[in-house]
Each structure stands twice: as C-alpha cells, then as structure tokens.
Amino acid sequence: MTALLGGHIMVGETNLTQLDKVRAGQMKMLAIATDKRSPEVAEVPTLKDLGIDIQYGVNRGLVAPKGTPEAVLAKLEDACGKAAKDPAVAESMKKQGTVVRFLGRKDYLAFFEREDQISGDLAQALGVKRK
C-alpha cells in the first residue's frame, strides 16, 4: 500500500478496508476478483465483467497438527462454526469485503485440495513450477 500510494508501483491489490483511500481520490479500484459485484462497491466491475475469467479470494482456515485428538478438532470446528454465524463477525467481515462461508473440516479439506490443484496447475502453466 505504501508503494502504491507513494507512486512507486502502478497497481496493487487490497480488500475493502482501503475504501477511505478510494473515496479520498488517492487510488482507484479497477476490478474486484469475486464471482459477483460487491454491494459495497457496486460500481466496480468484476474481472469477469472485463472479460477476464478469474475469481480469486484469500481463503482462511484453521489447521491442526496430525494426531490432534478428535475432541480438540471437534471443539475447534464447533467454535469456528459459531463464530461464522455471529452477526458481529459477519458485519466486521462485510466491511472488509470478505464473504464468510464456513466449511466443516471435511468440506474444507476437499475445498483446499481443489484450490491447491488449481494453483499448482496455474503455476506450472506460467512456468514458475516444474512438472
């Protein structure tokens, strides 16, 4: 952000926490990498709107060491599920332009493996990952 605002780079990426800088005219949002336009910045096109068929988001999840007791995993999963439903968490995430989709451990593992495969395939196609 410092390099972008200082004019040292021409483009960067961020989340909606920087809207104050956009509204102050310090930078301009060119596109959003979600599947649909964000209600918070409805005027900003998606990459797909611009003919670039890419969706990209930062995904977060908790991981635990192999061998973690089932009771501990269940407690963590339950706590995360409750947090994802908390209106205060939802409001905080909305301000950042973050869509919260809670996935239980099995669903998250499947999601993570799919995303990892996509990223690996892309890295290989770009020549930054060897076969």
pLDDT in tens, 30-69: 999 888 898 888 999 999 999 998 888 778 888 899 999 9
Q: How far is CA 93 from the centre of its chain?
A: 11
Token pair belonging to 71? 């009771």
Predicted model pTM: 0.64
Q: How big is the chain, counted in residues?
A: 131
Report the SS3 class of residue 32: strand
Average pLDDT, integer, range 99-111? 90
pLDDT above 80 for 130: no
Tens-place pLDDT, residues 70-97: 999 999 999 999 999 999 998 888 877 7
Give dist(CA 7, CA 129) in Å, integer: 31
Pinpoint the alpha helices (H) of 11-104: 19-23, 70-85, 87-95
